[in-house]
């Protein structure tokens, strides 16, 4: 049996499959989730059921979202799990999680494929108003980025977009040996709890994302240069933002101010944008930055 085969299933690279097999780690993760009967639990990527079984033992019923048809088939015919599962054989990146939250808020968990973790987190955040909490296994570096604050190398778009919408709690770190096949990176569990209220709301979440993309696309540049296609130095100064700082030096509140200024002053943005680059070109550049950030 080769190193990519576990419990008779060949791990598929295109799905980013790494299966948990360490019982102590599994127990610690389930304790962190703390599932209870009657809760609206949803697992993304149940795989071979390492987390699914102990969660079902506590919660009785859960929904699962699984893209791999072979694994979905195994779950449908699993002698213990099958009666306790509602299985959605589909891509979580395109799944409408709101349809599962008609009566109760969601408690979402899973060992997420590391190759799509960032875009999947962004997709899940669009359903934050339907979610009680989320627990995910991610690459350790991603968890560090989610939890990072200003003046830190790990601080960036993921930090800002996640922390604006959720409380971020790193729970535990996990070594490669807990998986089969073993990944080449360390892993970590993170707990995300959506904010019930936001003290300084952004007027358009897409504007906040746009500002973050513009800032961190070339993070070693000063704010003056990062935003020259969106904002003038005078506009930055009017917001009490030092144009000589770097993107990592600005707080989340600063990015909220920038996003709200763009929403409130579209005409001024057009007037002050770099004359060599049209608004359409700015949008194209941001789309390219978005694609790079999700790889």
Render 182-248 in DSSP notation, one character per residue: PPSS-EEEEEEEE-SS-SS--S-HHHHHHHHHHHHTTTTS-HHHHTTTT--HHHHHHTT--TTS-GG
Evaluate whether residue 68 is within a structural domain: yes
Residues 160 and 57 in one domain: yes
Which of 155, 173, 194 is the last residue in one of the domains?
194
pLDDT band at 287 (very low <50, low <70, confident <90, very high): low
Burial of 201 (0-12, 13-18, 19+ CB in 10 A): exposed
What pLDDT score was predicted for residue 277?
39
Total of domains in the chain? 2
Considering the chain, what is the average pLDDT of its residues? 86
Nearest to 137 by CA among 73, 66, 45: 45
What pLDDT score was predicted for residue 175?
94
Which of 159, 194, 229 is the last residue in one of the domains?
194
Which of 194, 225, 255 is the last residue in one of the domains?
194
pLDDT band at 183 (very low <50, low <70, confident <90, very high): confident
Residues 262 and 127 in one domain: no
Burial of 245 (0-12, 13-18, 19+ CB in 10 A): middle
CATH assignment of the domain containing 223? 1.10.8.100
Residues 141 and 280 in one domain: no
CATH assignment of the domain containing 155? 3.40.50.150
pTM of the predicted structure, to 2 decimals: 0.85
DSSP state of 154: T
Distance CA 118, CA 123 (A): 9
Residues 78 and 24 in one domain: yes
- Do 243 and 222 meet the contact criterion of CB atoms below 8 Å apart? yes
Residues 137 and 227 in one domain: no
What pLDDT score was predicted for residue 95?
98
Q: What is the pLDDT of residues 26-83, one digit of tens each?
A: 999 999 999 999 999 999 999 888 999 999 999 989 999 998 888 899 899 988 999 9
Residue 137: strand, helix, or coil: strand
- Do 28 and 178 meet the contact criterion of CB atoms below 8 Å apart? no
Residue 289's domain comprises: 205-293
Which residues lie below 8 Å from residue 290, measured CB to CB, with a gap of 6+?
Answer: 213
Residues 105 and 170 in one domain: yes
* Gyration radius of the chain's alpha carbons: 21
Sort strands 19-20 and 40-44 into parallel, antiparallel or unpaired.
unpaired
């Amino acid at each position: 049996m080769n190193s990519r085969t576990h419990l008779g299933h060949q791990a598929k690279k295109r799905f980013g499959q790494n299966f948990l097999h360490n019982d102590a780690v599994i127990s610690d993760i389930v304790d962190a989730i703390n599932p209870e009967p009657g809760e609206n639990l949803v697992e993304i990527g149940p795989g071979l059921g390492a987390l699914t079984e102990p969660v079902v033992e506590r919660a009785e019923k859960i929904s699962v979202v699984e893209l791999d048809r072979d694994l979905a088939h195994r779950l449908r015919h699993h002698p213990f799990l099958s009666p306790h599962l509602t299985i959605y054989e589909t891509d979580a990146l395109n799944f409408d999680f709101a349809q599962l939250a008609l009566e109760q808020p969601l408690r979402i968990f899973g060992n997420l494929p590391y190759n799509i973790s960032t875009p999947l987190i962004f997709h899940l955040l669009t359903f934050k108003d339907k979610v009680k909490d989320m627990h995910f296994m991610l690459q350790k570096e991603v968890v560090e980025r989610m939890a990072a604050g200003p003046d830190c190398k790990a601080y960036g778009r993921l930090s800002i977009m996640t922390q604006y919408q959720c409380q971020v709690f790193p729970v535990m770190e996990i070594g490669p040996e807990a998986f089969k096949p073993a990944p080449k990176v360390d892993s970590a569990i993170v707990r995300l709890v959506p904010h019930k209220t936001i003290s300084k709301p952004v007027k358009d979440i897409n504007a906040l994302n746009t500002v973050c993309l513009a800032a961190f696309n070339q993070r070693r540049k000063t704010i003056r240069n990062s935003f020259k296609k969106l904002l003038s130095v005078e506009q930055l100064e009017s917001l009490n933002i030092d144009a000589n700082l770097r993107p990592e030096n600005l707080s989340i509140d600063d990015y909220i101010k920038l996003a709200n200024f763009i929403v409130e002053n579209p005409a001024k943005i057009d007037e002050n944008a770099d004359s060599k680059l049209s608004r359409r070109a700015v949008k194209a550049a941001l789309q390219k930055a978005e694609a790079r950030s999700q790889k």
